Structure 1
Amino acid sequence: MTPARPGPPYAVTVVGLGADGWRGVPDASRAVLRDAEVLIGGPRQLDLLPPECAGERIAWPSPLRPAVPALLAEHAGRRIAVLASGDPMFYGIGRALAEEVGDRLRVLPHPSSVSYAAARLGWPLEDTEVVTLVGRPAARLAAALHDGRRLLVLSADAGTPAEVAALLRDRGFGPSRLRVLEQLGGERERTGDAVTADDWAALTPPPGDPLNIVAVECRRAPDALRLGAVPGLPDEAYEHDGQLTKRYVRAATLAALAPAPGELLWDIGGGSGSIAIEWMRTHPSCRAVTVERDPVRAARITRNAERLGVPGLRVVTGAAPAVLAELAGAAEAAEVAELPPPDAVFIGGGLTVPGLLEACWSALPVGGRLVANTVTLESEAVLADAHRRHGGELVRLAVAHAVPVGGFTGWRQAMPVIQWAVRKSLEPLEPFDTVDTVDATSGADR
């Protein structure tokens, strides 16, 4: 029998600590901390260690993430222990350390605050969504608000619970019940009484410990707009000036784009940002960049993204393809030089701009998807030619709404939308033809 090969030596050991401090640290973790030559952590965590942990103590600088490589390199070859709150691999420093040292990281976790909270509340974790607001805007909570859902919100500080209550009221979830759980697992543990977001201001005394987690039982106000979990949100959910991919066409467009967790979308001609926003709402790890020529519309996209729970949407103000020149090889736009290649591209405006379709196609990797919508005859000719040359699916989407006609009811037809959807293959492609006209690249074809 061949003996097992020893694994690589650990470069770093990360140890989870709870609110109970040294008292709750198991023997294996205590041995690592006593033996460490370098102890790295936040000031609060370092203060929890007794004098017998005699290694050099180093507090994380701010900002933390950029400092990790240099700090580890400075102490390479020494026994390094990093302190973390709870489970280091659950929204903790463990991720950053794993990215730096790979399988030379050893993790000794402690029960997370989420595990403690679920235990105190009697909430099954598999039915509870966790949202972190540590180092992230509170607006991202909005994407998780659905009537009847249970949420555990990881707080950044003592002010987070009030932020959560204010956001719930603003998004039509004032009847939601909140409980703030502080210092879970420690001697000063406190689980507050349940209160609605509407009644938060009357809570006496308000919670004040920075080490807290907020439990939310979502309840939507009867008059609040209902937002579902799939693409095709009501048009009223968006602030817009008419440049909006309407609800039913939007649902069909997202179906053609087929977002998957972790993927990146380029939305060209953002309009009101609805395609990029609903792409990101399909999964917390989905990312999107929207390009919009008009600064007023670009600012509107940002507001819509924040309102609908995806404040991480990146909005690039400028006309395509000029702002995509760096990725297309023409090298002009420093603002987007760091854009990674997309998994999918949506073109909602500017199809007749020379070079736009080629730039988007060139940026796509093999297997990437491109979807383009138009309502104009000129852009329809571009899509018909693209379909002839490169295949894919060309469809005509027509929607009609019932409206009063005198004392009766009839159909009012919306402008039909021509949609081309294609997946990039390994086969060589013919160059695209474009119509040499001026276009706004601003959602004009939406």
Structure 2
Amino acid sequence: MITVVGIGADGWDGLAPGSRAAVERAEVIMGSARQLGTLPRLAAERVTWPTPLLPALEGLVEAYREREVCVLASGDPMFFGIGSTLVRLLGADRLTVLPHVSSLSLACARLGWPVEGVEVISLVGRPSAALNAALAPGRRVAVLGSGRDSPAEVAALLTARGYGRSTLTVLSDLGAAAESRLDGAAATWTGAPGSALNVIAVTCRPDPGLEPLARVPGLPDTAFEHDGQLTKREVRAVTLSRLAPLPGEHLWDVGAGAGSIAIEWMRSHPSCTASAVESHPARAAAMRRNADTLGVPGLEIVAARAPEGLAGLPEPDAVFVGGGLTTPGVLEACWAALRPGGRLVANAVTLESEALAVRRQAEHGGDLVRLSVQRAGPVGGFTAWRPMMPVTVWSVTKPSGEDAP
């Protein structure tokens, strides 16, 4: 059995009696050098985490399987902490978790912020671009810093995204005698690098004229960098409604182009994931920039042709075929990989791809919708309707035991 003990910046002095007892009876204590340095003299063997930790973690824990192990974790081990990682690797039945007060709770207590009204973004082992999806006027965001430079990094990102008027409060060493607070605005941030243990509390305030981006499907086409290979706004909204993203689900976006479908799928909920397959190198590169700008840097981009590029991808809960519908083997491979109850949506623009969609719908069911969108535009000194190319949308849910189409 492994006991995971949450410990604060105040170290041993801040531990509850039960947590102290767990540390005292351990034969092996694992943690960072800083955490281990806060402990008094104990008989247990001390093991300092290696760098990088994750690749070595499972093997390290297994090496001490026959001994009483205590793992030290910052704050609440199950809140962006090593406790969650150990549960995933070893299973909850092998762990006893004794949480400490989280840095989020301490930060909200200092600021008078209701915890349930705060969005949390961790930069520990994650790119700062993840913050982009959380930006909205008036939104309160708590950013868990990954080092001394995190406040300056957050301030620069906010300024670049048109939120330079946002206020920042950097709370460092929360709970320790050296706890500190620094306030300022993103655009004028000059705070010197401080403690590596920091929480950056952000109140989002957009610059004048900024158009905030909604989390519902149908972002403006101008939100994406593209070369014309983009599922347009109105069609995208309908397509995503048919894909019906649910928390924790995974999408395949095949022939992804600018990645607009996969990106908006992931923006619908922080736990949604996606794999985007695109063979054109320049489009794949633009897709990476779009994913970062729009706050979903975790998008998996596969620069390959389908169906070859589909091999080895995580099982999809939904599949969107936006390009390559008539390529031999693409539809068959997507359908075979789709889990029972999953949704497949294919958009057809050409007569050939539309004919294929109509035939598949006749054979395997689902819905066919033909979208014709017109946008108003100038004609001389007047305004007239300019039609976009019509799009046929085939959407179908895979029943249990269904053969490939």
Normalised TM-score (structure 2): 0.97
Please state if 1:49 is matched with 2:49: no
> 1:37-436 maps to which residues of 2 (within 5 A)?
37-51=27-41, 53-99=42-88, 100-193=90-183, 195-201=184-190, 203=191, 206-324=192-310, 326=311, 337=312, 339-426=313-400, 428-429=402-403, 432=405
Q: Alpha-carbon deviation of 1:160?
A: 0.5
Paired with 2:193 and 2:148, the residues of 1 have a C-alpha distance of 7
- Contact in 2 for aligned 1:172/1:225 (Cα 8 Å): no
Q: Alpha-carbon deviation of 1:226?
A: 2.0
Q: Which runs of 5+ in 1 are unaligned?
A: 1-10, 327-336, 433-446
Q: Alpha-carbon deviation of 1:356?
A: 1.1
Q: Alpha-carbon deviation of 1:65?
A: 2.0
- Contact in 1 for aligned 2:340/2:401 (Cα 8 Å): no
Paired with 1:311 and 1:407, the residues of 2 have a C-alpha distance of 44
Paired with 1:396 and 1:101, the residues of 2 have a C-alpha distance of 48
Normalised TM-score (structure 1): 0.89
Q: Alpha-carbon deviation of 1:410?
A: 2.5
Deviation track 1:377-423 (CA, whole Å, cap 9, x = no partner) reads: 11000000000001001000111112234444322111111000000
Q: Supply the RMSD in Å over aligned alpha carbons.
A: 1.2
Q: Alpha-carbon deviation of 1:61?
A: 1.2
Q: Alpha-carbon deviation of 1:192?
A: 1.4
Please state if 1:29 is matched with 2:19: yes
Q: Alpha-carbon deviation of 1:427?
A: 5.0
Deviation track 1:123-145 (CA, whole Å, cap 9, x = no partner) reads: 00111111100010001100100
Deviation track 1:134-182 (CA, whole Å, cap 9, x = no partner) reads: 0100011001001110000000001101000010011111110001001
Paired with 2:302 and 2:315, the residues of 1 have a C-alpha distance of 15
Deviation track 1:349-371 (CA, whole Å, cap 9, x = no partner) reads: 11111111111111111111100
- Contact in 2 for aligned 1:116/1:184 (Cα 8 Å): yes
The amino acid that maps onto 2:70 is A
Q: How many residue pairs are counted as aligned between the two chains?
A: 404
- Contact in 2 for aligned 1:22/1:49 (Cα 8 Å): yes
Which segments of structure 1 move beyond 6 Å, counting only runs of 4 or more? Answer: none
Paired with 1:358 and 1:124, the residues of 2 have a C-alpha distance of 50
Q: Alpha-carbon deviation of 1:223?
A: 2.5
Q: Which runs of 5+ in 2 are unaligned?
A: none
Deviation track 1:284-340 (CA, whole Å, cap 9, x = no partner) reads: 11111111111111111111111111111111111111222x4xxxxxxxxxx3x22
Bigger Cα displacement from structure 2, 150-159 vs 104-113: 104-113
Paired with 1:101 and 1:228, the residues of 2 have a C-alpha distance of 37
- Contact in 1 for aligned 2:243/2:345 (Cα 8 Å): yes
The residue matched to 2:177 in structure 1 has which SS? coil
Q: Alpha-carbon deviation of 1:374?
A: 1.5
Deviation track 1:58-94 (CA, whole Å, cap 9, x = no partner) reads: 0111222222221222111211100011000100010
Paired with 2:306 and 2:5, the residues of 1 have a C-alpha distance of 48
